[in-house]
Chains A and B, each alone.
Chain A
Amino acid sequence: MIEQRRGVWYLYGILIFFTLWYMAASLVNLPIIPTPWIVMKNLLGIFIPKILIHGSYSLWRIVAGVILAVIVGGPVGLCMGYFPKWDRALSPIVYLTYPIPKIALLPIMMLLLGLGEVSKILMIFLIIVFQVIIAVRDGVKSIPKETYYPLYSLGATFSNIFREILIPASMPKFLTSIRVAMATAISVLFFTETFGTEYGMGYFIMDAWMRVNYLEMYSGIVVLSCMGLVLFGVIDYLDRKICHWQYK
């Protein structure tokens, strides 16, 4: 029942989006903003032959970047939150490197790691990993001391504490950090894909733009934003599945 209603709200959002788009298109009345119907028609025509391959490349890079950030950032954040020594040693480094505009490093990464997949995935990783580290660390730090006591007196090992307390307690903040980082990651992905590749939504959109093919360009943008919608949907789903205790 609730699931159904959620779907209705998504439809509602899409409807408003299309209405605003349609209003803008009819107001400007130039080929530079086509109406949604023409774009959707075009999208249906070119999705399988043209866009699918680009979309798959982009999705793979995002997912690989996020997974890498989780694999590295999760454990580092947990250790920084749990062991004060780790926090003291690593916090300055994190704070110092976090504000560096990662996108400025793109040319260096491309020089060092080549134009291929590695530099793109690493870029996304660099954007997301700091947010994961800090969110997980703060999540662990905010656990009250008393929560540990019954487990300590039961003789719990570190792996017990890790599994039973640290991971579930930091999960909500962790998912929020992924949610916040996802939007940035998609924009950065777009940027990196305009260099040194012939696949990816970024390439597809910029290529269509260069060819002054506005219909294809808008189709690409719609697909990119749908990708975002699906990714956010997945995170929301995980949140409801894993962290449902916090909504009780």
Chain B
Amino acid sequence: MIQIKNLNVTYEAMGEGYAALENINLEIGSGETCAIIGPSGCGKSTLLKVLAGIIRKYEGVVEINGQPIMPMQQKIGFIPQNYGLLPWKNVYENIRLSAKIKNKKDSDHSKELDFFIQQLGLAGLECRYPGELSGGQQQRVALARSFLLKPDLLLMDEPFSALDAMTREEIQNVFLDVWRKYSVSTILVTHYVEEALYLGQKIVILSGIPGTISKIIDNPLFGIDDIRNHQDFFQLSLTLRKMIKEDWSK
């Protein structure tokens, strides 16, 4: 369970304090997915960085399973927009990195690692370097790296936005497949309404500067097979779009 209570984040620039996030309250159940959608500069990435333990200066309560964020103790997977793969490590080493840092030497992950390589369609690419992979393949590697940990919380910052439309749909399905198997609590930031609808059980609409939550929607269409082709999906995305447009033009 992820709990955020009265979260305020300010950052300093040129000696002055600016509010990036104001009074954020959010609760995400264990194994739930949550899509955060909002305009550029509204603090989406800041919120993710707080949850990832990268930003440590904030007011309020942010807890994973009742414990404050501590990257040393919890397992947090973070996939940045550029996938965050290390160019000097090949696919195999990149995936193994998370386990290597987290578990030091006490366990052998080679079996699970092979399993994830198969699961995410990376077989045969183990010895390639990130520079030799397509965007979709890099994203698969980043997902494998995060899922290998079986994290308490998975964070993704616009994970699919750099992919072409067809690859994006394919990787979204790959993500859902793996997520269903491991039901990892996931928070993803996106600026595509359809992506939020397809991947988020909860959809959080952020607005304004400083970022505040203007709506939290429980997505009724999540998890239905082939939902993208249904009329309901289309209808809801239109409604959502309208809602967001009104909200952001305030």
* Contacts from A to B (Cβ < 8 Å): 144, 146-147, 149-156, 160, 164-165, 168-169, 171, 243, 245-246, 248
Cα A37 to Cα B115 in complex, Å, equals 64
Name 30 A/B residue pairs within 8 A (Cβ), A-sorted: A144-B82, A149-B49, A149-B54, A149-B80, A149-B84, A150-B77, A150-B79, A150-B80, A152-B52, A153-B52, A153-B53, A153-B71, A153-B155, A154-B98, A155-B53, A155-B70, A155-B71, A155-B76, A156-B71, A164-B89, A164-B97, A168-B88, A171-B88, A243-B88, A245-B129, A245-B131, A246-B88, A246-B131, A248-B128, A248-B131
* Chain B residue at smallest Cβ distance from A146: B80
CB distance B102 to A149 under 8 Å? no
Cα A175 to Cα B49 in complex, Å, equals 34
B217 lies within 8 A of chain A by Cβ:
no
A interface, over-half SS: helix
* Contacts from B to A (Cβ < 8 Å): 49, 52-54, 70-82, 84, 86-90, 97-98, 101-102, 128-129, 131-132, 145, 149, 155
* Chain B residue at smallest Cβ distance from A172: B88
CB distance B71 to A146 under 8 Å? no
CB distance B129 to A248 under 8 Å? yes
Contacts of A150 in B (CB 8 A): 77-80, 84, 98, 145
CB distance B53 to A152 under 8 Å? yes
Cα A243 to Cα B131 in complex, Å, equals 13
CB distance B52 to A149 under 8 Å? yes
Cα A151 to Cα B77 in complex, Å, equals 9
Cα A20 to Cα B78 in complex, Å, equals 60
Cβ 8 A contact of B78, one of A149, A243, A246: A149
* Chain A residue at smallest Cβ distance from B70: A155
Cα A150 to Cα B159 in complex, Å, equals 13
Contacts of B128 in A (CB 8 A): 248
Cβ 8 A contact of B101, one of A160, A169, A243: A160
Contacts of A152 in B (CB 8 A): 52-54, 71, 78
B84 to chain A, nearest CB (A): 4
Contacts of B52 in A (CB 8 A): 149, 152-153
Cβ 8 A contact of A164, one of B78, B86, B129: B86
